[in-house]
Amino acid sequence: MCTRVIKGLAGIASLILIASACGGSQHTSSSFCAQLGKEIPFIGQRVTTKTQATEMVDRYKRLLRRAPLTIEGDLAIVTDVLVMASKVNPQNEDQVQELANASYASKQSADNVREWVMSTCAVDISTGLTIAPPRVATTTVAPTSTTTPSSKATTQPTATTSSAPATPSSQP
């Protein structure tokens, strides 16, 4: 009897592990950057209407669903301020002041998100602009010494792909 229960529990545990592995985690930097790529055409747009504010909140909520733990807390704070902004009545001074206070309080979180997105996705989330080109291997030019028939050494550049200095070679 005990053996059947243990086998049954082991089977259930295996199914849970397989199901979670197949689903995969969407909270990765690559998943976040891919979602940001879909949202980026609209991220830097100016918000002037309630509809646009609601659309912006929806964009940030989609990003929040993909945010890795590294920035999830900070992005949640920024998203909450956007939600508050989308609901504020500009004629109500108390609501406007409350939004201003929340905005100032969330500045560090906004800076953390912006910095992380810049370094991870190469995008400035505050403007929606790509800030860095893809990384490409560089070619270095290291001088090499050669000897001429008059025994005078001359230096000529030689292209190499390693960062180690080239060794001098001599020609007769």
- 29: DSSP letter: H
Q: Give the closest residue to 116 by CA, choosing from 53, 67, 49, 157.
A: 67
Q: Are 144 and 169 in contact (CB under 8 A)?
A: yes
How many Å apart are CA 107 and CA 127, to the nearest integer? 16
Q: What angle do CA 18, 22, 28 make, to 5 degrees?
A: 125
pLDDT reported for residue 45: 82
Entry field: residues in the chain? 172
At residue 93 the predicted structure's pLDDT band, cuts being 50, 70 and 90, is very high
pLDDT at 49 over 70: yes
Average pLDDT over residues 109-118: 94
Whether pTM > 0.75 for this model: the answer is no
What is the number of alpha carbons within 13 Å of residue 120 lying toward its C-beta? 20
Q: Which of 10-19, 46-55, 91-100, 104-113 has the lowest mean pLDDT?
A: 10-19
Q: Give the closest residue to 75 by CA, choosing from 105, 112, 100.
A: 112
